[in-house]
Structure 1
Amino acid sequence: MGKEDNPQEAAANGAAQKCPESSSTPLVGEEKLRRAIQLIASLISEFHASKIKVFSVKWQMIRGKVEELNSGLIAAENCHSSESQTLSDLVSAIIESVKECQDLAHRCINLSFSGKLLMQSDLDLICAKLDAHIRNLSGIYTAGILSNESAIVVSRPSFGASREDIKFYVKDLLTRLKIGNFEMKKQALVSLNEMVYEDEKYARVVVEMNEVILLLANFLDSFELEVQEESAKLVSVIAGFNCYRSLLVRVGIVAPLIRVLERGSGKGKEYAVKSLQKLTENADNAWSLSAHGGVTALLNICSNEETMEELIGLACGVLRNLVVVKEIKRFMIEEDAIPSSIKLVTAREESTQINSIEFLQCLGSGDESTRQMIIQAGGITALLRALDPKSSFSSFKTRETALRAIESLCFSSMISLNLLVDFGFLDQLLYFLRNGEAPIQELALKAAFRLSVTSKEAKKIMGDSGFIPEFVKFLDAKSYEVREMATEALSCMVTVPKNRKKFVQDDRNIGLILRLIVARQGESSGNLKFLLSTLLSISSSSSARRRIINSGYMKNIEKLADDGVSDAEKIIKKVSTNRFKAMLNRILHS
């Protein structure tokens, strides 16, 4: 491989060409520094050109350290420096170590060393020297001897770049994270964020370099808020990939994320919560968060009136993920999570409304005692306010979520159902059945259907409120699920005499049921079953029986009866009383 093909050497040469002169007087040791970079680039080129057959693990370690040192020197070359004997002495020592490394490499390639034990000792020694140089260079940055007013970052690999080029670029950024001052660290984190956000291929390289993840965990505790924020942002992006979440938890990222929640900046908290929300999508990670006080920190965010609503919404999202653990759920309830969440249901921020509603719904799921606590704390009132079609603070999505929560929390108890009716829930359902967009209209129909099967009293109230015409309207809907719900709901409603009377008062209703029975004949769905059930119920009315006989559809009903359909047989029997027998015989045998 030629030098022009080597990404590391190209980066070094590019850096030398791009570095602007800060003054007409050369920087102290500038040529020496450039010489060190050239020597390292040459050594890295040799690593690429030939594989050393012996002590391969040792040489892999040496190569990593040399590349890290190379990135640090390139960064140093592109910084202004004061007159510093310390820097000059370090560069001289690095040059000597690089020459020594080249000599050892040649001896290993040519197998010209005197003994394996001695060579292994020499390689250990050169590893120790390179480590010392990296630490000393980091110390120089920390001491402020170098400033990066004109520092440049190695050019980011283009789309479709090789894995080796990407790895080199990430290693360069890693070096800046380790030895750079505040500005260099921040810029390196910004660059990492940009690349990881755009392509999972970059994220994979970053995650495979465990050192980057460990550094991020440390930077989350940084007093430099911009470094903390960029680190939390990068963690949130990496946590977005499901396959990397377990690694983040294993390296201990949860505890520093919680510390950011407790005392970080607004932006830092936002990214920390986003990270925790993604990590806790796996319930196995819930205990890790709880063990470090994360539940308390999240509850404090939700109950603090000065917290930004967007952050509160995100915190509710994490709490919702944690509810699946019974012990954590119990702790939340003891810490007054229910009343504080009910307050958030009527917040102005959509995400806060939705996440708090879903959190309450999860709290009450499968737990009647918790559902009653939510209701007693004012949950029904809050949910109905969020559902209210007249509310200017509730979005379409909020209303959908509130309707699902009402159905989940309130339909299992007659007490809560009565409260719903008293607070005007039926009027809201009717509004959405008549005027709602398709998704919420379907949810309203589902809720109305569930109400219709709860009790005879509920059927009576719904009949008086005007639900029967709305169910009829959906009998011939395009959606199979909608037709099924409407048909079953109607068949339940007409079991009440008062509702049957209302239904048969409209001549069109009986004709529609008969036409739909013919249309659905041959189907094995429940749709036909509930249509026949409805027809059987209304055939208790003499006026309905007369219309059925005169409709012209009796042959279809008889055919179903002949096929053994139970409800069809019952309908035939009902309309074939002495009073109608002669008329029926004429129709059937004409």
Structure 2
Amino acid sequence: MHHSSAAVSGELTKPQTATAPLQPLLDLITNVLSLLLLSSLTVRSFIGRWQILRSKLFSLTTSLSSLSDSPHWSQNPLLHTLLPSLLSNLQRLTSLSDQCSSASFSGGKLLMQSDLDIASSSLSTHISDLDLLLRSGVLHQQNAIVLSLPPPSSDKDDIAFFIKDLFTRLQIGGAEFKKKSLESLLQLLTDNEKNSRIIAKEGNVGYLVTLLDLHHHPLIREHALAAVSLLTSSSVDSRKTVFEEGGLGPLLRLLETGSPPLKTRAAVAIEAITTDPETAWGISAYGGVTILIEAVRSGSNEVQEHIAGAISNIAAVEEIRTNLAEEGAVTVLLPLLISSSTSTQEKTASFISLISSSGEYFRDLIVRERGLQILIRLVQESSNPDTIEHALLSLTQISAMDTVSKVLSSSTTFIIRLSELIKHGNVILQQISSSLLSKLTISDGNKRAVADCLTSLIRLMESPKPAGLQEAATEAVKSLLTVRSNRKELIKDEKSVIRLVQMLDPRNERMGNKELPVMVVTAVLSGGSYAARTRLMSLGADRYLQSLEEMEVSGAKKALQRLAAGNRLKSIFTRAWKDH
């Protein structure tokens, strides 16, 4: 049997020492090969098999000739294992040739057929290994840098040569060579992420993927998985190469059946591969949805974190969402929003957010699985802005259901939390919170409880970015101003009133849509407050509204009428008093 199969399932073996000179060995092989080619002409039994063997022996002659022409062939340590193995196989074939050349073959036919097939297969492997060595180009350069990492200052060509040599040893060498090659590969990937692109281009990633199979030595499989995991996490190019070379299937198998450390490595790689939408569909193609959900159900905290990320990634592919829901992803993932790490919560919240935006079926599913209570709790307790954002988006989607809207509208603690996010959250959280606040049917008592966020909402009305923020803030202000005490509070807030009037100014470009401040002014004046009219008039609101009416801005005429109504009434009363 061929050397590279040695010890793959048992102990790692040391390679033969590289001290014996190789030239005499090559001469001996060439001599035995010449005699074998002659003797094979005289075989009388199994002629068909020998014709195939002769073509392989001719091919071997060509490979050995190219080998001896390579300037540095004798320095390559792989040949200290490969050539003795080849010689042994040729000597075995010589013995079989003699048996098949006798006038009447008396041995067992099935046994001879088996022996010839084994020798032929082994010969194919030797020829393949020699061709790989010759193609790699490593025999044409001095092996000074072999298996010692090129220094950080090395140029791309040096690193490319090292990688070719490394993968040649990985493919041809026995278990110990494989182990050392993988250790060097891991070092190379750890030292510099840029190396991953060169490895993806120059190395045989497909062969690396085959080392993930369960029949390989556990240590070799573990090293190979670590290398694949680093490749998937390093660059888009190397990640794509791993996928294209069929890496997803073996990774899913390891996630399903591997030891705990292997499952964690596999989970990291699967999350990275699914980052790209064009490869995310592969999970479904490999039947991986069930495996992922089971990994969340029974995996360690680390596995749960990365698989939650992978599920969130593949949920971006619309066709996979239904499959995820049917397999129970929502049921399994929702509890992670309470009892897991910050990172796991964020990834899970992202998935729930995607699912909630996908239609009524998914929204019903979330509510049925107690998702509403979990999401409210997450918004209340999380300090991670991204997690809160995903949770709020989910709540916004499911609030389209009347029952959900009633629960959110009547929860004083939730309404107060929204006001806190409007005051202190980042701009995205401010926008989502404002929008949700304006859509809920809130009691006057709860509106009074959050009056202190009016200042922030007025300020947000001035922000042209992100798109939709000004509209959301305006709608929230209008909602809160239906309560008389809130209108009084706003009028007392001098800075906010000045801001509001400045937004009416036709020259103020920050407020492109003048209908928005007009709507707020109309809302402020809705109770007919004399103080409100006086304050707005003193700041010149009437002049701006006059201009906006002339520009035919919707609502400006109505706002101007409300503003002027008090003055007209006052002048009527004054005149009547004087007449009296």
Asked whether the two chains share a fold, i.e. TM above 0.5, the reply is: yes
Deviation at 1:316, TM superposition (A): 1.4
Pick closer, same or farther for the CA change 1:35–1:359 going to 2, 3 Å: farther
Deviation at 1:234, TM superposition (A): 1.9
Q: Is the aligned partner of 1:429 residue 2:383?
A: no
Question: Counterpart in 2 of 1:539?
Answer: 525
Question: Counterpart in 2 of 1:499?
Answer: 483
| 1:195-238 Cα shifts (integer Å, max 9, x gaps) | 2344465334432346x212212111144333222222222333
Q: Distance in 1 between matches of 2:414 and 2:489?
A: 27
Q: Is the aligned partner of 1:248 residue 2:233?
A: no
Question: Counterpart in 2 of 1:191?
Answer: 184
Give the stretch that moved more between structures: 213-222 or 471-480. Answer: 471-480
Q: Does the aligned pair in 2 maintain the 1:361–1:408 contact within 8 Å?
A: no
Question: Counterpart in 2 of 1:292?
Answer: 286
Which amino acid counterpart does residue 535 of structure 1 have in structure 2? V
Q: Distance in 2 between matches of 1:376 and 1:511?
A: 46
Q: Distance in 2 between matches of 1:272 and 1:28?
A: 36
Q: Does the aligned pair in 1 maintain the 2:497–2:536 contact within 8 Å?
A: no
Identity of aligned residues (%): 21
Question: Counterpart in 2 of 1:302?
Answer: 296
Pick closer, same or farther for the CA change 1:340–1:485 going to 2, 3 Å: same
Pick closer, same or farther for the CA change 1:156–1:130 going to 2, 3 Å: farther
Deviation at 1:528, TM superposition (A): 4.2
Pick closer, same or farther for the CA change 1:388–1:576 going to 2, 3 Å: closer
Pick closer, same or farther for the CA change 1:235–1:556 going to 2, 3 Å: same
Question: Counterpart in 1 of 2:431?
Answer: 446
Deviation at 1:462, TM superposition (A): 4.7
Q: Distance in 1 between matches of 2:466 and 2:270?
A: 38
Q: Distance in 1 between matches of 2:74 and 2:359?
A: 58
Question: Counterpart in 2 of 1:265?
Answer: 259
Q: Is the aligned partner of 1:517 residue 2:509?
A: no
Deviation at 1:510, TM superposition (A): 7.0
| 1:383-442 Cα shifts (integer Å, max 9, x gaps) | 2222223xxxx44246434544444433322321222345542132234445x4x42xx3
Which amino acid counterpart does residue 453 of structure 2 have in structure 1? E
Which amino acid counterpart does residue 517 of structure 1 have in structure 2? V
Residue from 563, 566, 577 that aligns with 1:575 = 563
Deviation at 1:257, TM superposition (A): 1.2
Q: Distance in 1 between matches of 2:154 and 2:286?
A: 41
Q: Is the aligned partner of 1:280 residue 2:280?
A: no
Which amino acid counterpart does residue 523 of structure 1 have in structure 2? N
Give the stretch that moved more between structures: 404-413 or 172-181. Answer: 404-413
Question: Counterpart in 1 of 2:8?
Answer: none
Deviation at 1:189, TM superposition (A): 1.3
Pick closer, same or farther for the CA change 1:346–1:583 going to 2, 3 Å: same
Q: Distance in 1 between matches of 2:185 and 2:154?
A: 16
Which amino acid counterpart does residue 368 of structure 1 have in structure 2? E
Residue from 528, 542, 554 that aligns with 2:542 = 554
Which amino acid counterpart does residue 543 of structure 2 have in structure 1? K
In the alignment, structure 1 segments of 5+ residues that lack a partner are 1-21, 38-57, 94-127, 139-151
Question: Counterpart in 1 of 2:212?
Answer: 220
Larger RCO, structure (CA 8 Å, separation 6 or more): 2
Question: Counterpart in 1 of 2:77?
Answer: 74
| 1:487-541 Cα shifts (integer Å, max 9, x gaps) | 7535554467742443125542477334542366213434643222211222231
Deviation at 1:174, TM superposition (A): 1.6
Secondary structure at 2:439 match in 1: coil
Q: Distance in 1 between matches of 2:385 and 2:74?
A: 50
Residue from 458, 465, 472 that aligns with 2:455 = 472
Secondary structure at 2:151 match in 1: coil
Question: Counterpart in 2 of 1:7?
Answer: none
Which amino acid counterpart does residue 195 of structure 1 have in structure 2? L
Which amino acid counterpart does residue 158 of structure 2 have in structure 1? D
Q: Distance in 2 between matches of 1:493 and 1:229?
A: 59
Residue from 192, 201, 213 that aligns with 1:208 = 201
Q: Distance in 1 between matches of 2:18 and 2:554?
A: 101
Q: CA-atom RMSD, angstroms?
A: 4.4
Q: Is the aligned partner of 1:343 residue 2:335?
A: yes
Which amino acid counterpart does residue 487 of structure 2 have in structure 1? F
In the alignment, structure 2 segments of 5+ residues that lack a partner are 1-13, 27-60, 92-121, 133-144, 575-580
Report the number of matched residues: 476
Which amino acid counterpart does residue 483 of structure 2 have in structure 1? N
Which amino acid counterpart does residue 251 of structure 2 have in structure 1? L
Which amino acid counterpart does residue 384 of structure 2 have in structure 1? F
Residue from 298, 303, 312 that aligns with 1:320 = 312
Deviation at 1:300, TM superposition (A): 0.5
Q: Distance in 2 between matches of 1:68 and 1:417?
A: 80
Deviation at 1:303, TM superposition (A): 1.0
Q: Is the aligned partner of 1:400 residue 2:427?
A: no
Deviation at 1:159, TM superposition (A): 3.5
Deviation at 1:371, TM superposition (A): 1.0
Secondary structure at 2:21 match in 1: helix
Residue from 174, 198, 204 that aligns with 2:167 = 174
Question: Counterpart in 2 of 1:371?
Answer: 363
Q: Distance in 2 between matches of 1:29 and 1:248?
A: 34
Question: Counterpart in 2 of 1:409?
Answer: 397
Pick closer, same or farther for the CA change 1:162–1:529 going to 2, 3 Å: same
Q: Distance in 1 between matches of 2:516 and 2:476?
A: 9
Q: Does the aligned pair in 2 maintain the 1:217–1:252 contact within 8 Å?
A: yes
Q: Does the aligned pair in 1 maintain the 2:197–2:237 contact within 8 Å?
A: no
Q: Distance in 2 between matches of 1:560 and 1:415?
A: 42
Question: Counterpart in 2 of 1:458?
Answer: 442
Q: Distance in 1 between matches of 2:252 and 2:452?
A: 55
Pick closer, same or farther for the CA change 1:517–1:487 going to 2, 3 Å: farther
Q: Does the aligned pair in 2 maintain the 1:449–1:488 contact within 8 Å?
A: yes
Pick closer, same or farther for the CA change 1:361–1:33 going to 2, 3 Å: same
Pick closer, same or farther for the CA change 1:475–1:129 going to 2, 3 Å: same
Pick closer, same or farther for the CA change 1:552–1:295 going to 2, 3 Å: closer
Q: Does the aligned pair in 1 maintain the 2:422–2:457 contact within 8 Å?
A: no
Question: Counterpart in 2 of 1:358?
Answer: 350
TM-score, structure 2 as length reference: 0.69
Question: Counterpart in 2 of 1:118?
Answer: none
Pick closer, same or farther for the CA change 1:557–1:267 going to 2, 3 Å: same
Counterpart mapping for 1:13-32 below 5 A: 30-32=19-21
Deviation at 1:62, TM superposition (A): 8.3
Pick closer, same or farther for the CA change 1:510–1:60 going to 2, 3 Å: farther
Q: Distance in 2 between matches of 1:179 and 1:68?
A: 20
Pick closer, same or farther for the CA change 1:29–1:532 going to 2, 3 Å: closer
| 1:345-392 Cα shifts (integer Å, max 9, x gaps) | 112322221122212222222212211210121112112222223xxx
Secondary structure at 1:476 match in 2: helix
Pick closer, same or farther for the CA change 1:231–1:66 going to 2, 3 Å: farther
Q: Does the aligned pair in 1 maintain the 2:271–2:309 contact within 8 Å?
A: yes
Question: Counterpart in 1 of 2:228?
Answer: 235
Counterpart mapping for 1:53-64 below 5 A: none
Question: Counterpart in 1 of 2:43?
Answer: none
